[in-house]
Chains A and B, each alone.
Chain A
Amino acid sequence: MPDEKDTRRSGEFRLSLEAAERKTPDVIPLHRAVMREMAEPRDGLEPVPVWLILGFLALAGWAGFYIAMNSGGFAPDQYNERALFAAKPAESPKPVDPMVLGRRTFSNCVTCHQQNGEGVEGAFPPLAGSEFVNGPPEQLAALLLHGMNGPLRVKGATYNGEMPEWGSKLKDEQIAAVLTFIRASFGNNAPPVSPGLVRQVREATASRNRPWTEAELKQFRLGG
């Protein structure tokens, strides 16, 4: 344990060296940091703990098992990692709940009409409480099949935009499902729409090649 005097003396010595260094910058600088540092690191030789080795072996075993179980036979076109072991799915297609299919298909609508069906004020009309959504199903189906263009009044507000046609992109089942979904959501309470009705409307309007205007659509009747 150095006493205070020693400490001061060694400090003074250091300072005098530094003063000397400042006068003669060409000599090897006295690296005080180097002077005080510890020796270069060395290796201890403690053994690897047994629990560590056992743990690693267990992990290696898991790794082998996981690869064997989850590699789908290393096939280039196998994306299901459990394919080799999964039970074969039943061949008969399970019936799809129109509300589930409807919700999925509805994702095509949310960019404009929003997920809550409220639309955007001044830009996109709402589906909630809309006269069109809750109105005659054949007009609604026709609207979806061919789109719409120009001024449109919904719930007392006027919109002026375009609705794309979905007839070339969605199947009858999807259109029926999404109509069923929006007619039963957001507080709407209109009866479901069947794929058969959509097919009828599609056939009846097969010759149409442009979007509806509001007036045209309101006059549309099946078989009329």
Chain B
Amino acid sequence: MDTSPDTSGPSATPAEERERLTRIQIDRSCRQAVVWYYASAVFWLLVGTVLALIASIKMHSPGFLAGWEWLTFGRVRPAHLAAMIYGWGSMAGVGTLLWLQARLTRNRLPFPTLLPATAVIWNLTVAYGLVALFAGRSTSIEWIEIPPETAILFGFCIAVLIAASIRMLRQRESKHTYVSQWYLFGAIFWFPVLYVSAQIFLHTPAARGAVKAAANWWFAHNVLGLWFTPIGLATVYYLIPKVIGRPVHSYHLSLLGFWTLAIFYNWAGTHHLIGGPLPAWLITVGIVGSVMMFVPVVTVAVNHHMTMVGNFHHLKYSPTLRFVVYGAVCYTAVSFQGSLQSLRSVNEITHFTHYTIAHAHLGVYAFFTMVMFGAIYYVAPRLLNAEWHSAGWIRVHFWTTAVGMAIYWLGLTWAGWQQGRMMNDPRIPFLDIVRYTVPWLWSRSFAGVLMTIGHLSFAWLFWNMLRQRGAYLPGPTLLVRRKEESAVAAGGEG
């Protein structure tokens, strides 16, 4: 219940009233574009989820849907990735990015027709990519299987986004920029540079043979490192202090964390090629880049943790905070894991196994996707002027995805580790290793069903939000009803 007279309703001072009016105007300017991006993202989340389930079941029951060529495992898997990365992840990320930039620069979102149009183009591009994959036009380059011509369409969308970002940044109200803005600004430039130059390296003789593999992993790792991670961290940096109403612990840590991420993360990609056919120095550089990621990760973790200290009880009430903090913790976890995994001695075991798959999902799902869920729980009510219509479904969403992800990660991490150890023992027949992993692949499907339930409840909530059902609840939708009504707690909602 948001009934504290200090922070809401009629008793505000004139300055607070102006502040609120500004926010209302900003949110209103964002409504079209951001809702388009969010709604599309949720759609692709469902598409990607169905594809994920099919792929997962096929791994332990190879006869499942095996009659159709377009649904063979080798096509469903890249389609799952494309739907999740370019559909769900990127579109949820762009929606959040636009709203955050408008809020942080205190500008209205520019280009009221062009920006929603980019969402439409983005959707068509992803749909085109998926059709191409099902039709057998995969480039067979991991993370960038969709055809190269998508670079033109994505490039156009991003160009508009960049123009909007620059315009908002130039017209920002205060000269000082908040840490979230650095990450967002970085992401919006890094992604197009990566996507377009990767297409050039991979589809022209600009890079040849084995170097194409290096370009592949430079790109693929940076989609996570320089696109999803900065958007995710910007969101965490904004939402934690916003919900609990405290400043971020340390500006200096923010600064250190941002620049070390920018410097080290983009060198990490070649750790995917340890033992592979590239010169030793190139692999070594990738390992060092990965291990040096300890610096930004520890910095950001300390900064977030110190901001949260004393406010963990909000996790009980606020859906946003719960998802965002789950994501932030998993960011630390996945980064630590990634640094260790890049060491040659560890990689010798984990490379080429399900361990890596678990790790990738810990990054893209447990970190980024959970943060995006949190962001949508916060932003959508402001754009649509409605409350989430059921706390129960939010709880279902949280627990199924959180527990599902945990099962997913534990099962495949264990199975992958054992798989790697067995593969490195030549006396163990290969097919025995395959048989060993099958029960764990079943556990992954089970986790997938849980996560599907979560996604369906989230989509149901979002659908009702779009239809403005539950719009006039008397207060925010909290996970559990709050007992005390302290002044601080009243502001920390949604």
Contacts and interface: CB of A to CB of B under 8 A. Distances in A.
Do A and B touch directly, given a CB cutoff of 8 Å in the complex? yes
A36 interface: yes
Interface string A134-169: 000000000000000000000000000000000000
Interface stretch (B118-126, B235-243, B409-417, B440-448): B235-243
B253 interface: yes
A50 interface: no
Interface stretch (B4-12, B74-82, B191-199, B325-333): B4-12
Contacts of A6: 3, 5
A13 B279 contact: no
Contact of A66 (B8, B104, B245, B287): B287
Q: Is the interface of B mostly helix, strand, loop or mixed?
A: helix
Interface string A35-48: 11111111111111
A205 interface: no
B3 A45 contact: no
Nearest to A49: B302
Contacts, number: 191
Nearest to A82: B280
Given A44-B247, A79-B279, A33 B382 contact: yes
Contact of A46 (B7, B104, B253, B277): B253
B285 interface: yes
Interface stretch (A110-118, A190-198, A208-216): A110-118
Contacts of B179: 43
Contacts of B238: 41
Contacts of A13: 9-10
Given A33-B382, A38-B242, A63-B288, A28 B28 contact: yes
B20 A10 contact: no
Interface in B421-437: 426, 429-432
Query: Contact residue range for chain B?
Result: 35 or more
30 contacts: A10-B5, A14-B9, A31-B24, A32-B385, A33-B493, A34-B24, A36-B493, A37-B23, A37-B382, A37-B494, A38-B491, A41-B238, A41-B241, A41-B247, A42-B178, A48-B299, A49-B302, A56-B295, A67-B285, A70-B280, A71-B280, A71-B284, A71-B285, A72-B280, A75-B281, A78-B281, A79-B277, A80-B280, A81-B344, A110-B429
B385 A48 contact: no
Nearest to A31: B24
A55 B262 CA distance: 19
Interface of B: 1-5, 7-10, 19-21, 23-25, 27-28, 103-104, 178-180, 237-238, 241-245, 247-254, 256, 277-281, 283-285, 287-288, 291-292, 294-295, 298-299, 302, 306-307, 344, 381-382, 385, 387, 426, 429-432, 472, 474, 476, 485-486, 490-494
Given A10-B9, A41-B238, A71-B284, 5 more contacts: A1-B486, A31-B20, A52-B302, A79-B279, A114-B431
Contact of B292 (A39, A59, A72): A59
B242 A41 contact: yes
Contacts of B299: 48, 52
Contacts of A75: 279, 281
Nearest to B103: A40
A34 B248 contact: no
Contacts of A187: none
Nearest to A28: B24
A47 B252 contact: yes
A48 B3 contact: no
A104 B457 CA distance: 53
Contact of A31 (B237, B245, B385, B486): B385
Contact of B381 (A30, A33, A43, A66): A33
A178 to B, nearest CB: 14
Contacts of A10: 3, 5, 8-10
Given A47-B252, A67-B288, A78-B280, A41 B178 contact: yes
B343 to A, nearest CB: 10
Interface of A: 1-2, 6-7, 10-11, 13-15, 18, 28-49, 52, 55-56, 59-60, 62-63, 66-67, 70-81, 83, 103-104, 110, 114-116
Nearest to B8: A36
B438 to A, nearest CB: 17
Contact of B5 (A2, A15, A63): A2
Contact of B20 (A35, A41, A74, A83): A35
A220 B179 CA distance: 82
B385 A29 contact: yes
Nearest to A78: B280
Contacts of B28: 28-29
A78 B279 CA distance: 6
Contacts of A115: 429-432
A197 B490 CA distance: 90
Contact of B491 (A15, A37, A81): A37
B7 A31 contact: no
A2 B6 CA distance: 10
A10 B1 CA distance: 11
A59 B295 contact: yes
Given A2-B485, A59-B295, A44 B279 contact: no
Contact of B2 (A32, A41, A62, A83): A32
Contacts of B291: 59, 62-63, 66
B10 A37 contact: no
A38 B405 CA distance: 31
Given A41-B241, A70-B284, A110-B429, A35 B247 contact: no
A49 B299 CA distance: 10
Contacts of B8: 10, 32, 35-36
B281 to A, nearest CB: 4
Given A31-B23, A40-B103, A56-B295, A66 B284 contact: yes
A70 to B, nearest CB: 4
A32 B385 CA distance: 7
A37 B242 contact: yes
A47 B250 contact: yes
A34 B382 contact: yes
A37 B103 CA distance: 13
A38 B245 CA distance: 5
A38 B7 contact: yes
